[in-house]
Structure 1
Amino acid sequence: MAAVAAIYPFIKAMDAELLAISTDSVYSHVVFKETSPSLKHVTYPMLSDRNHGISKAYRVLDSSTGASYRASFFINPGQIIKAKLVYAAEVGRNIPEHLRILQGFHHAEQTGQDVPANWVPGQPGISQDPSKIGTI
């Protein structure tokens, strides 16, 4: 969560929002934030999904543990899931990749161009013209 907090200003600068959602209680979020030195810098909202409604709706609930998998969703203003990343418990998120995905969506929105594999900001995008499929 601290790694995400470090990029939160960049997320906000792209007119995006971040929500942390877990099956823990609001109280446990407060205690966790107060006792963990790395979480003192978390300024984005932390939401509780104690009834598992959100985790079930997004299909990330591990019913054997009652906890949700580590997952990240990129949802556009039209409430369409544009990307979904789900991680095994033993593997942490790749935060630079999350930022790159968001930057890719931002680039596509601003330029009308898709971004190819391994694209990084500053590189050109590719045409969204379906007539060019197979010709590039």
Structure 2
Amino acid sequence: MVKVGTPAPDFTAQTTQGPMQLSQLRGQWVLLFAHPGDFTPVCTTEFMDFARKHDEFVKLNTKLIGLSIDTIFSHIAWLRDIEQTSGIKIPFPVIADPDKVVARLYDLVDERTGQTIRGVFVIDPEGILRFAAYYPIELGRYIPEFLRIIKALQTSDKYGVATPANWQPGEEVVVGAPKTLEEADRRLQEGASTWYILKKRVD
């Protein structure tokens, strides 16, 4: 099973935009998400909303990649159907994984049904897995949360801070515990509410 904080398993796969190798995407963030099957109602709503917010992910230097164990021909037919019925063009690649190679790398196969689990992974520019979640088949994902997660990770990396519960961009962040008594005393003198936690704003 893949673990947060370890290198994301590399793969080469066929997508709706041609062949793709994960390691060739180094230097940008990747949001890899799997769906149980093409032409299914919940998955269709997710793809449409990912497409609506695609430009926001691009601004965060993040590449969206979809995945299921359907064939490339099924993917093409489904994406064309979405565009024809809703007017929404899917701008990101979708991996065709009928042999379940990529799905097994990311522990995404429900062996009882043979379907792909509704998983999502955030991979940083160094190829490290930073976030992973699995959703039940009947539960559609809340797409804005993934934008928030990526913004939080990027803020943490840039400033060396953590983000508190319910954090939104622009709100205060948390500085880690002090490493010396002197630093703890200085924080209290600077107005921190406690010696072990300090909130501050970043741009």
Q: Settle same-fold status: TM greater than 0.5.
A: yes
Give how far 1:129 is off. 4.8
Question: Does residue 30 of structure 1 match 2:76?
Answer: yes
- Structure-2 residue corresponding to 1:63: 111
User: Residue 11 of structure 1 is aligned with which of 57, 63, 83?
Assistant: 57
Give the Cα separation in 2 of the matches to 1:90 and 1:104: 27
* Unaligned ranges ≥5, structure 2: 1-46, 185-194, 198-203
2:75 partner letter: H
* Unaligned ranges ≥5, structure 1: none
Question: Does residue 48 of structure 1 match 2:109?
Answer: no
Give how far 1:39 is off. 7.3
- Structure-1 residue corresponding to 2:144: 96
**Identity over aligned residues, as a percent?**
27
Q: How many residues align?
A: 135
Q: Which has the higher strand share?
A: 2
Classify 1:130/1:92 alpha carbon distance in 2 versus 1 (closer, same or farther; 3 Å): farther
Which has the larger displacement, 118-127 or 30-39? 30-39
Q: Which runs of 4+ in 1 moved over 3 A?
A: 128-132
Higher alpha-carbon Rg: 2
Classify 1:42/1:130 alpha carbon distance in 2 versus 1 (closer, same or farther; 3 Å): farther
Classify 1:38/1:111 alpha carbon distance in 2 versus 1 (closer, same or farther; 3 Å): farther
Give the Cα separation in 1 of the matches to 2:80 and 2:122: 28
Q: Greater relative contact order: 1 or 2 (C-alpha under 8 angstroms, separation 6 or more)?
A: 2
Q: Is the 8 A contact 1:33 1:39 kept in 2?
A: no
Give how far 1:109 is off. 2.2
Question: Does residue 109 of structure 1 match 2:157?
Answer: yes
**TM-score computed with the length of structure 1 as normaliser:** 0.90
Q: Deviations over 1:14-58 (max 9, x none)?
A: 111110011111000110011123473210111111111111111
Q: Is the 8 A contact 2:177 2:196 kept in 1?
A: no
Give the Cα separation in 2 of the matches to 1:109 and 1:6: 27
